[in-house]
Chains A and B, each alone.
Chain A
Amino acid sequence: MKHGTEKTRRDFLKECALGALVAGAARYTFAADGNINPPATAGTKSKVVMAHDPSLYGSSLTPDSARVQKLLDQAMQNYFGSPDPVALWKKIVRPGEVVGLKVNTIAGPGLSTHPVLVAAICERLQQAGVKPSNIIVWDRTNEELDRAGFTLSNDPNRIRFLGTDSKQVGYDEQVFTAGSVETRLSNLLTRTCDCMINLPILKNHEMAGVTLALKNMYGVNNNPDKFHPNNCCPGVADLNLLTPIRSKFRFVVADAMTACFAGGPMYKPQYAWKYNTLMVAADPVAIDSTAWQIIEKKRAERGLKTLTQAGTPPKYITVAADPQHRLGTDDPNRIALVEV
Protein backbone atom coordinates (compact mmCIF):
# COMPACT_ATOMS: atom_id res chain seq x y z
CA MET A 1 0.00 0.00 0.00
CA LYS A 2 1.23 3.45 -0.78
CA HIS A 3 2.63 5.50 2.05
CA GLY A 4 4.17 8.22 -0.05
CA THR A 5 7.69 6.82 0.17
CA GLU A 6 9.61 4.44 -2.05
CA LYS A 7 9.43 0.89 -0.80
CA THR A 8 12.04 -1.76 -1.15
CA ARG A 9 11.21 -5.18 -2.48
CA ARG A 10 11.94 -6.60 0.97
CA ASP A 11 9.41 -4.19 2.56
CA PHE A 12 6.85 -5.28 0.03
CA LEU A 13 7.39 -8.98 0.68
CA LYS A 14 7.29 -8.45 4.43
CA GLU A 15 4.06 -6.50 4.16
CA CYS A 16 2.47 -9.06 1.89
CA ALA A 17 3.60 -11.93 4.08
CA LEU A 18 1.81 -10.29 6.99
CA GLY A 19 -1.28 -9.77 4.89
CA ALA A 20 -1.10 -13.32 3.65
CA LEU A 21 -0.81 -14.64 7.19
CA VAL A 22 -3.96 -12.82 8.19
CA ALA A 23 -5.78 -13.68 5.01
CA GLY A 24 -4.44 -17.20 5.05
CA ALA A 25 -5.59 -17.69 8.61
CA ALA A 26 -9.12 -16.77 7.64
CA ARG A 27 -8.96 -19.01 4.64
CA TYR A 28 -7.47 -21.93 6.51
CA THR A 29 -10.12 -21.66 9.21
CA PHE A 30 -12.57 -22.15 6.42
CA ALA A 31 -10.49 -24.96 5.03
CA ALA A 32 -9.92 -26.59 8.40
CA ASP A 33 -13.52 -27.75 8.27
CA GLY A 34 -12.35 -30.14 5.62
CA ASN A 35 -13.80 -27.97 2.95
CA ILE A 36 -11.02 -26.74 0.72
CA ASN A 37 -7.62 -28.29 0.44
CA PRO A 38 -5.36 -25.45 1.59
CA PRO A 39 -2.51 -25.07 -0.86
CA ALA A 40 1.13 -25.66 0.00
CA THR A 41 0.90 -26.58 3.66
CA ALA A 42 3.57 -28.88 5.00
CA GLY A 43 2.89 -32.58 4.63
CA THR A 44 -0.07 -32.19 2.33
CA LYS A 45 -0.47 -32.46 -1.40
CA SER A 46 -2.26 -29.97 -3.57
CA LYS A 47 -4.94 -31.70 -5.55
CA VAL A 48 -5.53 -30.93 -9.21
CA VAL A 49 -8.41 -32.68 -10.97
CA MET A 50 -8.66 -32.86 -14.74
CA ALA A 51 -11.93 -34.08 -16.20
CA HIS A 52 -12.07 -34.98 -19.89
CA ASP A 53 -14.94 -35.58 -22.27
CA PRO A 54 -13.87 -36.25 -25.88
CA SER A 55 -17.47 -35.74 -27.04
CA LEU A 56 -17.83 -32.34 -25.41
CA TYR A 57 -18.26 -30.53 -28.72
CA GLY A 58 -19.92 -33.31 -30.70
CA SER A 59 -20.51 -31.93 -34.18
CA SER A 60 -21.31 -28.50 -32.81
CA LEU A 61 -19.12 -25.42 -32.81
CA THR A 62 -19.74 -24.82 -29.12
CA PRO A 63 -19.53 -27.27 -26.21
CA ASP A 64 -22.75 -29.07 -25.34
CA SER A 65 -24.27 -27.45 -22.23
CA ALA A 66 -25.49 -30.72 -20.68
CA ARG A 67 -22.10 -32.33 -21.15
CA VAL A 68 -20.33 -29.30 -19.68
CA GLN A 69 -22.56 -29.43 -16.61
CA LYS A 70 -21.81 -33.13 -16.22
CA LEU A 71 -18.09 -32.58 -16.71
CA LEU A 72 -18.06 -29.78 -14.14
CA ASP A 73 -19.84 -32.01 -11.62
CA GLN A 74 -17.42 -34.83 -12.32
CA ALA A 75 -14.40 -32.60 -11.76
CA MET A 76 -15.79 -31.00 -8.61
CA GLN A 77 -17.04 -34.25 -7.08
CA ASN A 78 -13.66 -35.84 -7.61
CA TYR A 79 -11.93 -32.86 -6.11
CA PHE A 80 -14.09 -32.78 -2.98
CA GLY A 81 -14.77 -36.50 -2.78
CA SER A 82 -18.45 -35.64 -2.59
CA PRO A 83 -21.35 -37.56 -4.12
CA ASP A 84 -23.47 -34.40 -4.05
CA PRO A 85 -22.67 -32.00 -6.92
CA VAL A 86 -24.53 -29.17 -5.23
CA ALA A 87 -23.51 -29.33 -1.56
CA LEU A 88 -19.80 -29.10 -2.40
CA TRP A 89 -20.24 -25.49 -3.57
CA LYS A 90 -21.13 -24.60 0.02
CA LYS A 91 -17.57 -25.50 0.85
CA ILE A 92 -16.36 -22.75 -1.45
CA VAL A 93 -18.85 -19.95 -0.83
CA ARG A 94 -20.20 -19.13 2.60
CA PRO A 95 -23.87 -18.15 3.05
CA GLY A 96 -24.56 -14.53 2.17
CA GLU A 97 -21.27 -13.91 0.44
CA VAL A 98 -21.07 -12.04 -2.85
CA VAL A 99 -19.11 -14.25 -5.20
CA GLY A 100 -17.18 -12.96 -8.17
CA LEU A 101 -16.50 -15.23 -11.12
CA LYS A 102 -13.38 -13.79 -12.76
CA VAL A 103 -13.44 -14.93 -16.37
CA ASN A 104 -10.81 -14.39 -19.07
CA THR A 105 -12.20 -12.78 -22.21
CA ILE A 106 -9.33 -10.88 -23.83
CA ALA A 107 -9.02 -13.27 -26.77
CA GLY A 108 -12.58 -12.88 -28.02
CA PRO A 109 -15.02 -15.69 -28.77
CA GLY A 110 -12.38 -18.15 -29.94
CA LEU A 111 -10.40 -18.49 -26.76
CA SER A 112 -12.27 -17.05 -23.78
CA THR A 113 -13.97 -18.64 -20.81
CA HIS A 114 -17.03 -20.28 -22.34
CA PRO A 115 -20.39 -18.78 -21.29
CA VAL A 116 -21.75 -22.32 -21.09
CA LEU A 117 -19.25 -23.14 -18.32
CA VAL A 118 -20.14 -19.97 -16.45
CA ALA A 119 -23.82 -20.89 -16.77
CA ALA A 120 -23.12 -24.34 -15.32
CA ILE A 121 -21.30 -22.86 -12.31
CA CYS A 122 -24.01 -20.25 -11.74
CA GLU A 123 -26.60 -23.02 -11.79
CA ARG A 124 -24.82 -24.99 -9.08
CA LEU A 125 -24.12 -21.89 -6.98
CA GLN A 126 -27.80 -20.97 -7.00
CA GLN A 127 -28.82 -24.51 -6.16
CA ALA A 128 -26.37 -24.27 -3.26
CA GLY A 129 -28.23 -21.25 -1.96
CA VAL A 130 -26.34 -18.32 -3.47
CA LYS A 131 -28.79 -15.65 -4.58
CA PRO A 132 -28.49 -14.55 -8.21
CA SER A 133 -27.94 -11.00 -6.98
CA ASN A 134 -24.87 -12.26 -5.12
CA ILE A 135 -23.15 -13.58 -8.25
CA ILE A 136 -21.05 -11.28 -10.43
CA VAL A 137 -19.35 -12.46 -13.59
CA TRP A 138 -16.63 -10.00 -14.39
CA ASP A 139 -13.52 -9.09 -16.32
CA ARG A 140 -11.71 -5.89 -17.15
CA THR A 141 -13.95 -4.49 -19.90
CA ASN A 142 -17.55 -4.67 -21.00
CA GLU A 143 -16.48 -4.87 -24.61
CA GLU A 144 -14.40 -8.00 -24.04
CA LEU A 145 -17.21 -9.65 -22.08
CA ASP A 146 -19.64 -8.82 -24.84
CA ARG A 147 -17.35 -10.13 -27.60
CA ALA A 148 -16.84 -13.36 -25.67
CA GLY A 149 -20.59 -13.96 -25.69
CA PHE A 150 -21.72 -12.68 -22.28
CA THR A 151 -24.82 -10.50 -22.13
CA LEU A 152 -23.97 -7.47 -20.03
CA SER A 153 -26.26 -6.79 -17.11
CA ASN A 154 -26.07 -4.66 -14.01
CA ASP A 155 -29.53 -5.52 -12.69
CA PRO A 156 -29.00 -5.85 -8.91
CA ASN A 157 -31.71 -8.53 -8.70
CA ARG A 158 -30.08 -10.86 -11.19
CA ILE A 159 -26.67 -12.32 -11.93
CA ARG A 160 -24.53 -9.39 -13.01
CA PHE A 161 -22.11 -9.39 -15.94
CA LEU A 162 -19.82 -6.41 -15.62
CA GLY A 163 -16.50 -5.06 -16.74
CA THR A 164 -14.38 -2.98 -14.42
CA ASP A 165 -14.60 -0.21 -17.01
CA SER A 166 -18.34 0.14 -16.34
CA LYS A 167 -19.18 3.65 -15.15
CA GLN A 168 -20.44 2.33 -11.85
CA VAL A 169 -17.31 0.28 -11.15
CA GLY A 170 -13.77 1.49 -11.91
CA TYR A 171 -10.57 0.91 -10.01
CA ASP A 172 -10.18 1.36 -6.28
CA GLU A 173 -8.42 4.59 -5.36
CA GLN A 174 -6.07 2.76 -3.04
CA VAL A 175 -2.69 2.26 -4.62
CA PHE A 176 -0.91 -1.01 -3.91
CA THR A 177 2.73 -1.70 -4.53
CA ALA A 178 3.45 -5.10 -6.03
CA GLY A 179 7.19 -5.61 -6.18
CA SER A 180 8.41 -2.41 -7.77
CA VAL A 181 5.14 -1.57 -9.51
CA GLU A 182 2.29 0.54 -8.21
CA THR A 183 -1.15 -0.62 -9.21
CA ARG A 184 -4.85 -0.21 -8.50
CA LEU A 185 -7.33 -3.06 -8.28
CA SER A 186 -10.88 -3.38 -9.57
CA ASN A 187 -13.56 -2.21 -7.18
CA LEU A 188 -15.38 -5.43 -8.05
CA LEU A 189 -12.60 -7.30 -6.27
CA THR A 190 -11.84 -4.90 -3.44
CA ARG A 191 -15.31 -3.64 -2.58
CA THR A 192 -18.12 -5.58 -4.24
CA CYS A 193 -17.13 -9.24 -3.96
CA ASP A 194 -16.47 -11.16 -0.77
CA CYS A 195 -14.74 -13.98 -2.59
CA MET A 196 -13.51 -14.89 -6.05
CA ILE A 197 -13.65 -18.03 -8.14
CA ASN A 198 -11.02 -17.87 -10.84
CA LEU A 199 -12.18 -19.08 -14.28
CA PRO A 200 -9.12 -18.81 -16.54
CA ILE A 201 -8.48 -20.44 -19.88
CA LEU A 202 -5.54 -22.69 -20.71
CA LYS A 203 -3.24 -20.75 -23.02
CA ASN A 204 0.28 -20.22 -24.11
CA HIS A 205 1.44 -16.65 -23.57
CA GLU A 206 4.26 -15.33 -25.70
CA MET A 207 5.80 -13.51 -22.76
CA ALA A 208 4.81 -15.49 -19.68
CA GLY A 209 4.97 -18.87 -21.42
CA VAL A 210 1.78 -20.09 -19.78
CA THR A 211 -1.35 -18.28 -18.71
CA LEU A 212 -3.90 -19.90 -16.45
CA ALA A 213 -4.88 -19.08 -12.85
CA LEU A 214 -2.14 -16.73 -11.64
CA LYS A 215 -1.80 -14.78 -14.87
CA ASN A 216 -5.59 -14.30 -15.04
CA MET A 217 -5.16 -11.76 -12.27
CA TYR A 218 -3.70 -9.39 -14.86
CA GLY A 219 -7.34 -8.69 -15.58
CA VAL A 220 -8.03 -7.26 -12.12
CA ASN A 221 -5.62 -4.31 -12.10
CA ASN A 222 -5.41 -1.08 -14.05
CA ASN A 223 -1.91 -1.43 -15.52
CA PRO A 224 -1.15 -5.06 -16.44
CA ASP A 225 1.35 -3.90 -19.08
CA LYS A 226 3.66 -2.76 -16.27
CA PHE A 227 3.88 -6.36 -15.05
CA HIS A 228 5.08 -7.88 -18.32
CA PRO A 229 8.88 -7.42 -18.26
CA ASN A 230 11.16 -10.43 -17.82
CA ASN A 231 8.58 -13.05 -18.86
CA CYS A 232 6.12 -11.52 -16.38
CA CYS A 233 8.42 -12.55 -13.57
CA PRO A 234 8.14 -11.70 -10.75
CA GLY A 235 5.16 -9.59 -11.88
CA VAL A 236 2.61 -12.42 -11.81
CA ALA A 237 3.74 -13.67 -8.41
CA ASP A 238 3.96 -10.20 -6.88
CA LEU A 239 0.51 -9.24 -8.10
CA ASN A 240 -1.05 -12.42 -6.72
CA LEU A 241 0.55 -11.71 -3.38
CA LEU A 242 -1.50 -8.56 -2.87
CA THR A 243 -3.85 -9.05 0.04
CA PRO A 244 -7.17 -8.41 -1.74
CA ILE A 245 -6.33 -11.01 -4.39
CA ARG A 246 -4.90 -13.55 -2.03
CA SER A 247 -7.56 -13.22 0.61
CA LYS A 248 -10.56 -13.33 -1.71
CA PHE A 249 -9.37 -16.10 -4.01
CA ARG A 250 -11.16 -19.38 -3.24
CA PHE A 251 -10.97 -21.79 -6.12
CA VAL A 252 -9.96 -22.31 -9.76
CA VAL A 253 -12.19 -23.84 -12.40
CA ALA A 254 -10.05 -23.68 -15.52
CA ASP A 255 -11.61 -23.86 -18.96
CA ALA A 256 -9.43 -26.10 -21.11
CA MET A 257 -12.19 -27.08 -23.51
CA THR A 258 -10.29 -25.18 -26.20
CA ALA A 259 -6.67 -24.37 -25.41
CA CYS A 260 -3.66 -22.98 -27.26
CA PHE A 261 -0.06 -24.15 -27.35
CA ALA A 262 1.53 -21.19 -29.17
CA GLY A 263 0.84 -17.64 -30.26
CA GLY A 264 -1.12 -16.71 -27.14
CA PRO A 265 -2.72 -15.01 -25.41
CA MET A 266 -4.73 -13.93 -28.46
CA TYR A 267 -6.69 -16.41 -30.57
CA LYS A 268 -4.78 -17.81 -33.50
CA PRO A 269 -6.75 -20.87 -34.60
CA GLN A 270 -3.72 -22.62 -36.10
CA TYR A 271 -2.25 -22.94 -32.60
CA ALA A 272 -5.46 -23.90 -30.78
CA TRP A 273 -6.80 -27.37 -30.10
CA LYS A 274 -9.92 -28.85 -28.59
CA TYR A 275 -8.68 -30.32 -25.35
CA ASN A 276 -12.21 -31.09 -24.05
CA THR A 277 -11.09 -30.67 -20.45
CA LEU A 278 -11.94 -28.86 -17.24
CA MET A 279 -9.30 -28.46 -14.53
CA VAL A 280 -10.11 -27.64 -10.90
CA ALA A 281 -7.91 -26.86 -7.90
CA ALA A 282 -7.59 -24.67 -4.85
CA ASP A 283 -3.85 -24.21 -5.38
CA PRO A 284 -3.23 -21.75 -8.24
CA VAL A 285 0.45 -22.63 -8.48
CA ALA A 286 -0.17 -26.37 -8.69
CA ILE A 287 -2.74 -25.96 -11.43
CA ASP A 288 -0.48 -23.55 -13.36
CA SER A 289 2.41 -25.97 -13.03
CA THR A 290 0.19 -28.73 -14.42
CA ALA A 291 -0.84 -26.43 -17.27
CA TRP A 292 2.81 -25.88 -18.13
CA GLN A 293 3.31 -29.63 -18.61
CA ILE A 294 0.21 -29.87 -20.80
CA ILE A 295 1.39 -27.07 -23.08
CA GLU A 296 4.91 -28.52 -23.30
CA LYS A 297 3.49 -31.91 -24.25
CA LYS A 298 1.35 -30.39 -26.99
CA ARG A 299 4.24 -28.30 -28.31
CA ALA A 300 6.43 -31.40 -28.48
CA GLU A 301 3.69 -33.25 -30.38
CA ARG A 302 3.59 -30.41 -32.90
CA GLY A 303 7.37 -30.23 -33.22
CA LEU A 304 7.81 -26.89 -31.50
CA LYS A 305 10.60 -25.83 -29.15
CA THR A 306 10.05 -26.05 -25.41
CA LEU A 307 8.97 -22.82 -23.78
CA THR A 308 12.44 -22.41 -22.33
CA GLN A 309 14.05 -22.94 -25.73
CA ALA A 310 11.59 -20.44 -27.17
CA GLY A 311 12.72 -17.87 -24.60
CA THR A 312 9.45 -17.83 -22.70
CA PRO A 313 9.89 -20.06 -19.65
CA PRO A 314 7.02 -19.56 -17.20
CA LYS A 315 9.48 -18.88 -14.43
CA TYR A 316 6.88 -16.92 -12.46
CA ILE A 317 5.41 -20.28 -11.43
CA THR A 318 8.56 -21.20 -9.52
CA VAL A 319 8.73 -17.72 -8.00
CA ALA A 320 5.08 -17.96 -6.91
CA ALA A 321 6.01 -21.08 -4.95
CA ASP A 322 9.16 -19.64 -3.35
CA PRO A 323 9.39 -18.87 0.38
CA GLN A 324 8.79 -15.17 -0.25
CA HIS A 325 5.48 -15.75 -2.03
CA ARG A 326 4.16 -19.14 -0.86
CA LEU A 327 1.16 -18.98 -3.16
CA GLY A 328 1.15 -22.73 -3.64
CA THR A 329 3.39 -25.54 -4.75
CA ASP A 330 5.07 -26.34 -8.04
CA ASP A 331 6.74 -29.47 -6.67
CA PRO A 332 5.42 -32.45 -8.67
CA ASN A 333 5.85 -34.64 -5.60
CA ARG A 334 3.42 -32.40 -3.75
CA ILE A 335 0.80 -32.25 -6.47
CA ALA A 336 -1.85 -34.98 -6.52
CA LEU A 337 -2.99 -35.04 -10.12
CA VAL A 338 -6.28 -36.87 -10.69
CA GLU A 339 -7.57 -37.47 -14.21
CA VAL A 340 -11.13 -38.58 -14.77
Chain B
Amino acid sequence: MNRPFIHRLAHLVLLSGILWLAHGCQSHSASPNNLFPQSGEVAGWTRTSEIRTFPANKLSDYIDGDAEKYLKAGVRSTSTADYKFKDQLEFTVDVYTMSTSEGAKSIFESEPAMDAKTPALGDAARLYSQSLTFRKGSYLVRMVAYQESREVPQALLNLGLAMEKKLSR
Protein backbone atom coordinates (compact mmCIF):
# COMPACT_ATOMS: atom_id res chain seq x y z
CA MET B 1 0.00 0.00 0.00
CA ASN B 2 1.30 3.45 -0.85
CA ARG B 3 1.57 6.26 1.71
CA PRO B 4 -1.28 8.52 0.42
CA PHE B 5 -3.67 5.57 0.59
CA ILE B 6 -2.67 4.88 4.20
CA HIS B 7 -3.18 8.55 5.05
CA ARG B 8 -6.64 8.56 3.52
CA LEU B 9 -7.54 5.36 5.34
CA ALA B 10 -6.34 6.84 8.63
CA HIS B 11 -8.44 9.97 8.03
CA LEU B 12 -11.46 7.85 7.24
CA VAL B 13 -11.05 5.82 10.44
CA LEU B 14 -10.60 9.01 12.46
CA LEU B 15 -13.69 10.62 10.90
CA SER B 16 -15.76 7.50 11.55
CA GLY B 17 -14.63 7.55 15.16
CA ILE B 18 -15.63 11.19 15.57
CA LEU B 19 -19.04 10.54 14.02
CA TRP B 20 -19.56 7.49 16.26
CA LEU B 21 -18.62 9.51 19.35
CA ALA B 22 -20.90 12.37 18.31
CA HIS B 23 -23.77 9.96 17.85
CA GLY B 24 -23.04 8.39 21.21
CA CYS B 25 -23.08 11.78 22.94
CA GLN B 26 -26.35 12.74 21.30
CA SER B 27 -28.03 9.58 22.41
CA HIS B 28 -27.44 10.58 26.02
CA SER B 29 -29.63 13.70 25.72
CA ALA B 30 -33.34 13.25 25.17
CA SER B 31 -34.92 14.39 21.94
CA PRO B 32 -36.96 17.57 22.47
CA ASN B 33 -40.03 15.77 21.16
CA ASN B 34 -39.82 13.39 24.10
CA LEU B 35 -39.65 16.15 26.71
CA PHE B 36 -43.01 17.78 25.93
CA PRO B 37 -46.18 15.99 27.04
CA GLN B 38 -48.59 15.09 24.27
CA SER B 39 -52.15 16.37 24.29
CA GLY B 40 -54.19 14.57 26.91
CA GLU B 41 -51.13 13.06 28.58
CA VAL B 42 -51.75 15.38 31.53
CA ALA B 43 -55.39 16.00 32.44
CA GLY B 44 -56.74 19.16 30.83
CA TRP B 45 -53.64 19.94 28.79
CA THR B 46 -53.49 20.20 25.00
CA ARG B 47 -50.42 21.02 22.98
CA THR B 48 -51.43 23.60 20.40
CA SER B 49 -48.25 24.07 18.40
CA GLU B 50 -45.37 22.18 16.91
CA ILE B 51 -42.22 21.95 19.00
CA ARG B 52 -39.70 24.47 17.75
CA THR B 53 -36.03 23.96 18.56
CA PHE B 54 -33.36 26.64 18.40
CA PRO B 55 -29.67 25.69 18.49
CA ALA B 56 -27.46 27.95 20.58
CA ASN B 57 -26.39 30.09 17.64
CA LYS B 58 -30.02 30.79 16.68
CA LEU B 59 -31.40 31.39 20.18
CA SER B 60 -31.53 35.15 19.73
CA ASP B 61 -34.05 34.59 16.93
CA TYR B 62 -36.38 33.38 19.65
CA ILE B 63 -35.56 35.45 22.73
CA ASP B 64 -33.54 38.39 21.42
CA GLY B 65 -31.16 39.83 24.03
CA ASP B 66 -32.17 37.24 26.62
CA ALA B 67 -30.04 34.81 24.61
CA GLU B 68 -26.73 36.23 25.78
CA LYS B 69 -27.01 35.05 29.37
CA TYR B 70 -27.99 31.55 28.25
CA LEU B 71 -25.04 31.44 25.86
CA LYS B 72 -22.70 32.47 28.66
CA ALA B 73 -24.18 29.70 30.82
CA GLY B 74 -23.56 27.11 28.10
CA VAL B 75 -26.96 26.58 26.46
CA ARG B 76 -26.92 23.86 23.82
CA SER B 77 -30.44 24.19 22.49
CA THR B 78 -33.87 25.54 23.40
CA SER B 79 -37.19 23.95 22.55
CA THR B 80 -40.57 25.58 22.91
CA ALA B 81 -44.22 24.70 22.45
CA ASP B 82 -47.58 26.32 23.15
CA TYR B 83 -50.27 24.67 25.24
CA LYS B 84 -53.84 25.25 26.30
CA PHE B 85 -55.42 24.20 29.55
CA LYS B 86 -59.07 23.24 29.38
CA ASP B 87 -59.15 24.79 25.89
CA GLN B 88 -59.11 28.27 27.41
CA LEU B 89 -55.95 29.30 29.18
CA GLU B 90 -52.88 29.75 26.97
CA PHE B 91 -49.34 28.83 27.90
CA THR B 92 -45.84 28.64 26.47
CA VAL B 93 -43.37 26.03 27.70
CA ASP B 94 -39.64 26.42 27.08
CA VAL B 95 -36.98 23.79 27.77
CA TYR B 96 -33.41 25.05 27.83
CA THR B 97 -30.85 22.26 27.49
CA MET B 98 -27.62 23.41 29.04
CA SER B 99 -24.21 21.73 28.83
CA THR B 100 -24.08 21.23 32.59
CA SER B 101 -26.33 21.36 35.64
CA GLU B 102 -24.26 24.34 36.80
CA GLY B 103 -25.41 26.22 33.70
CA ALA B 104 -29.05 25.56 34.51
CA LYS B 105 -28.45 26.57 38.12
CA SER B 106 -26.74 29.83 37.18
CA ILE B 107 -29.69 30.93 35.04
CA PHE B 108 -32.19 29.92 37.70
CA GLU B 109 -30.30 31.75 40.45
CA SER B 110 -29.80 34.88 38.33
CA GLU B 111 -33.53 35.67 38.37
CA PRO B 112 -35.02 37.52 41.36
CA ALA B 113 -37.11 35.09 43.40
CA MET B 114 -39.56 37.82 44.49
CA ASP B 115 -42.52 36.21 46.25
CA ALA B 116 -42.17 32.75 44.73
CA LYS B 117 -43.43 29.54 46.25
CA THR B 118 -40.89 26.73 46.14
CA PRO B 119 -42.64 23.45 45.37
CA ALA B 120 -40.78 20.15 45.50
CA LEU B 121 -40.04 19.82 41.83
CA GLY B 122 -36.77 19.01 40.10
CA ASP B 123 -33.59 20.26 41.76
CA ALA B 124 -35.24 23.62 42.51
CA ALA B 125 -38.47 25.33 41.48
CA ARG B 126 -40.28 28.65 41.73
CA LEU B 127 -44.00 28.91 41.33
CA TYR B 128 -45.89 32.18 40.81
CA SER B 129 -49.50 32.95 40.03
CA GLN B 130 -48.82 32.79 36.28
CA SER B 131 -45.54 30.97 35.84
CA LEU B 132 -43.39 28.06 36.93
CA THR B 133 -39.63 27.74 36.52
CA PHE B 134 -37.67 24.69 37.55
CA ARG B 135 -34.34 23.07 36.87
CA LYS B 136 -33.48 19.41 36.71
CA GLY B 137 -29.91 18.40 35.95
CA SER B 138 -28.82 20.30 32.90
CA TYR B 139 -32.38 21.31 31.97
CA LEU B 140 -34.15 24.53 32.80
CA VAL B 141 -37.90 24.58 32.21
CA ARG B 142 -39.97 27.75 32.05
CA MET B 143 -43.77 27.75 31.82
CA VAL B 144 -45.71 30.95 31.33
CA ALA B 145 -49.47 31.53 31.42
CA TYR B 146 -50.94 34.40 29.44
CA GLN B 147 -54.06 34.68 31.54
CA GLU B 148 -54.70 34.76 35.25
CA SER B 149 -56.89 32.16 36.87
CA ARG B 150 -57.04 30.42 40.23
CA GLU B 151 -56.52 27.15 38.36
CA VAL B 152 -53.20 28.17 36.84
CA PRO B 153 -50.70 27.35 39.63
CA GLN B 154 -51.96 23.81 40.19
CA ALA B 155 -52.21 23.21 36.44
CA LEU B 156 -48.61 24.37 36.04
CA LEU B 157 -47.49 22.05 38.79
CA ASN B 158 -49.22 19.09 37.21
CA LEU B 159 -47.57 19.72 33.86
CA GLY B 160 -44.25 20.36 35.59
CA LEU B 161 -44.39 17.02 37.39
CA ALA B 162 -45.08 15.23 34.11
CA MET B 163 -42.14 16.97 32.47
CA GLU B 164 -39.85 16.22 35.39
CA LYS B 165 -40.43 12.50 34.85
CA LYS B 166 -39.48 12.86 31.21
CA LEU B 167 -36.36 14.80 32.06
CA SER B 168 -35.31 12.10 34.51
CA ARG B 169 -35.33 9.33 31.91
Interface residues of chain A, those whose CB is within 8 Å of chain B, are 61, 106, 108-110, 205-208, 211, 218, 224-225, 228, 232, 262-271, 302, 304
Bound: A302/B114 CA distance, A: 8
Bound: A268/B64 CA distance, A: 14
Interface centre among A208, A266, A304 (most CB of B within 10 A): A266
Bound: A61/B147 CA distance, A: 7
Instruction: Please indicate the chain A residues that have their CB under 8 angstroms from the CB of B130 in the complex.
Output: 269-270
Bound: A304/B90 CA distance, A: 29
Q: Identify whether the interface residues of A are mostly helix, strand, loop, or mixed.
A: loop
Instruction: Please indicate the chain B residues that have their CB under 8 angstroms from the CB of A304 in the complex.
Output: 112
Between-chain CB contacts (< 8 Å), 5 pairs: A207-B65, A228-B65, A265-B65, A269-B130, A271-B114
**Pair B111/A225 contact, Cβ less than 8 Å:** no
Instruction: Give min CB distance, B81 to chain A, whole Å.
Output: 12
Bound: A205/B69 CA distance, A: 12
Chain B residue at smallest Cβ distance from A141? B61
**Pair A267/B144 contact, Cβ less than 8 Å:** yes
**Pair B64/A265 contact, Cβ less than 8 Å:** yes
Evaluate whether A224 and B64 lie within 8 angstroms (CB atoms) in the complex, with A263-B111, A270-B114 already known: yes
**Pair B66/A266 contact, Cβ less than 8 Å:** yes
Looking at the complex, which one of B60, B64, B67, B116 makes contact with A270 (CB distance below 8 Å)?
B116
Looking at the complex, which one of B112, B131, B142 makes contact with A262 (CB distance below 8 Å)?
B112
Instruction: Please indicate the chain A residues that have their CB under 8 angstroms from the CB of B145 in the complex.
Output: 269
Evaluate whether A269 and B92 lie within 8 angstroms (CB atoms) in the complex, with A208-B65, A224-B60, A224-B64 already known: no
Instruction: Please indicate the chain B residues that have their CB under 8 angstroms from the CB of A208 in the complex.
Output: 65
Evaluate whether A206 and B66 lie within 8 angstroms (CB atoms) in the complex, with A269-B131, A270-B116 already known: yes
In the complex, whether B54 has a CB less than 8 A from a CB of chain A is no
**Pair A228/B147 contact, Cβ less than 8 Å:** no
Bound: A269/B63 CA distance, A: 15
**Pair B144/A206 contact, Cβ less than 8 Å:** no
The 7 nearest A-B residue pairs measured at CB: A269-B130, A225-B60, A207-B65, A270-B128, A109-B146, A269-B131, A110-B146
Instruction: Please indicate the chain A residues that have their CB under 8 angstroms from the CB of B46 in the complex.
Output: none
Taken residue by residue from 132 to 154, chain B's Cβ proximity to chain A (1 for < 8 Å, 0 otherwise) reads as: 00000000001011111000000
Chain A residue at smallest Cβ distance from B111? A263
Instruction: Give min CB distance, B120 to chain A, whole Å.
Output: 19
Interface residues of B in 69-91 (CB under 8 A from A): 69, 90
Instruction: Please indicate the chain A residues that have their CB under 8 angstroms from the CB of B128 in the complex.
Output: 269-270
Bound: A100/B128 CA distance, A: 38
Instruction: Please indicate the chain B residues that have their CB under 8 angstroms from the CB of A207 in the complex.
Output: 65, 68
**Pair A61/B64 contact, Cβ less than 8 Å:** no
Taken residue by residue from 104 to 124, chain B's Cβ proximity to chain A (1 for < 8 Å, 0 otherwise) reads as: 000000011010100000000
In the complex, whether B99 has a CB less than 8 A from a CB of chain A is no
Extra 15 A-B pairs, beta carbons < 8 Å, given A265-B64, A270-B128: A110-B144, A110-B146, A205-B65, A206-B68, A206-B69, A208-B65, A218-B64, A218-B65, A224-B60, A225-B67, A263-B111, A265-B63, A265-B66, A268-B131, A270-B114
